[in-house]
């Protein structure tokens, strides 16, 4: 642990020199856990670079398209959609896998249980669960499901008030919804839907780090090293990490966060195996409906690291 901490400190010192003029954006939510160790106790980024938080998909996309940021954590599907439209970004790594669940008072066993129902899910069209759900509904010829997009906290409030019956949410909002409504249950995780959709059995690459296509390799690799080390250290101290995430999320219950972290797969991958999995993932979705993501040029989609 001491060796990791020493290496991490050296990386931060070096990185502060090379990345000071660059910006990384990250959504508020469970994706904050991997970067918990990049902040000091005062909440200031430790590496001398700017970390900003995005609160809506529209905000994140606008920042990327306008080239206001150099790196961003996005749903892999959203990043792929942008790349398919010609936005010059590349996928450098995946750090979160799976982690989406249905929440309802009655267990959801399969998408047939959704016929004639309304599903409330996160943010906007194109996020991971939205794409997989739409693909599976199309495969099963189900057209009677209404999908409504809301923010995570709003979805939980609607559910607790009895105004929403079925949620499809990532952690920690899924666990929070269960605590708010005692009879609620989590069911049908996204990886099970993915397996039903494609017949493929692997973890769903949920969130990835995308970088500007022309970002300097030394800068990108330095950031990836820092991020991977921060993730490793954050997982080793979940109490501290949960407290950090709670503060950034406006007082989100720490016990719920700690429980949610265990329901989400955090693993940093930036190697050829990651590229193979993501390629299979995107191609699998496109085989069902090629309009859900678009035509991705895989020869140009992935960032080639000199470190990983």
Residue 8: what pLDDT? 53
User: With 60 as the cut, is the pLDDT of residue 92 above it?
Assistant: yes
pLDDT in tens, 188-206: 999 999 999 989 888 999 9
Asked if residue 181 has pLDDT above 70, the reply is: yes
Region 157-186 average pLDDT: 96
In sequence order, the β-bridge partners of residue 102 are: 168, 187
The whole-angstrom separation of Cα 72 and Cα 203 is: 21
Provide the pLDDT for residue 44.
Answer: 47
Cα–Cα dist 132/113, whole Å: 16
Side by side, the strands of the sheet bearing 100-104 are 146-150, 118-122, 166-170, 100-104, 185-187
- pLDDT at position 268 is 98
Beta-bridged to residue 266, according to DSSP, are 96
What is the Cα–Cα distance from 141 to 294, expressed in whole angstroms? 21
| pLDDT tens sequence across 66-83 | 998 999 999 999 999 999
Average pLDDT over residues 275-288: 93
Q: What is the pTM of this model?
A: 0.89
Query: How far is Cα 299 from Cα 135, in angstroms, rounded to an integer?
Result: 25
Q: Which of 63, 250, 21 is nearest to 153 (CA)?
A: 250
Residue 73 in contact with residue 129, Cβ under 8 Å? no
Q: Measure the CA–CA gap between 89 and 94, rounded to whole angstroms.
A: 14
Residues in Cβ contact with 179 at an 8 Å cutoff, skipping those fewer than 6 apart? 253, 256
pLDDT of residue 269: 98
Q: What is the per-residue pLDDT for 46?
A: 44
For 17-61, how does the pLDDT look when each residue is reduced to its tens digit (9 = 90+)? 454 578 999 998 889 999 998 875 444 454 456 889 998 889 999
| Domains detected in the chain | 2-97+203-301 (3.40.190.10), 100-198 (3.40.190.10)
């Amino acid at each position: 642990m001491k060796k990791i901490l020493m290496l991490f400190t050296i990386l931060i010192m070096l990185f502060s020199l090379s990345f000071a003029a660059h910006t990384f954006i990250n959504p508020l939510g469970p994706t904050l856990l991997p970067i918990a160790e990049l902040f000091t106790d005062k909440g200031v980024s430790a590496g001398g670079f700017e970390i900003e938080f995005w609160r809506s998909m529209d905000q994140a996309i606008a920042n990327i398209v306008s080239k206001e940021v150099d790196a961003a954590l996005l749903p892999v599907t959203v990043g792929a959609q942008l790349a398919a439209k010609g936005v010059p970004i590349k996928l450098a790594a995946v750090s979160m896998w799976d982690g989406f669940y249905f929440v309802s008072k009655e267990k959801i066993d399969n998408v047939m249980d959704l016929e004639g129902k309304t599903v409330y899910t996160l943010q906007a069209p194109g996020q991971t669960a939205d794409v997989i759900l739409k693909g599976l509904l199309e495969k099963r010829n189900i057209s009677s499901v209404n999908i409504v997009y809301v923010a995570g906290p709003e979805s939980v409030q609607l559910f607790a008030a009895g105004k929403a019956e079925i949620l499809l949410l990532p952690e920690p909002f899924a666990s929070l919804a269960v605590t708010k409504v005692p009879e609620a249950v989590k069911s049908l995780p996204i990886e099970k839907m993915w397996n039903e959709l494609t017949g493929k059995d692997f973890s769903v690459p949920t969130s990835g780090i995308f970088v500007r296509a022309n970002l300097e390799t030394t800068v990108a690799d330095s950031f990836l090293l820092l991020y991977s080390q921060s993730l490793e250290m954050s997982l080793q101290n979940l109490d501290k990490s949960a407290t950090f995430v709670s503060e950034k999320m406006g007082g989100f219950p720490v016990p719920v966060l700690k429980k949610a972290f265990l329901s989400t797969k955090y693993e940093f991958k930036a190697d050829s195996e990651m590229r193979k999995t993501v390629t299979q993932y995107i191609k699998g979705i496109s085989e069902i409906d090629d309009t859900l993501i678009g035509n991705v040029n895989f020869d140009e989609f992935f960032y080639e690291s000199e470190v990983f």
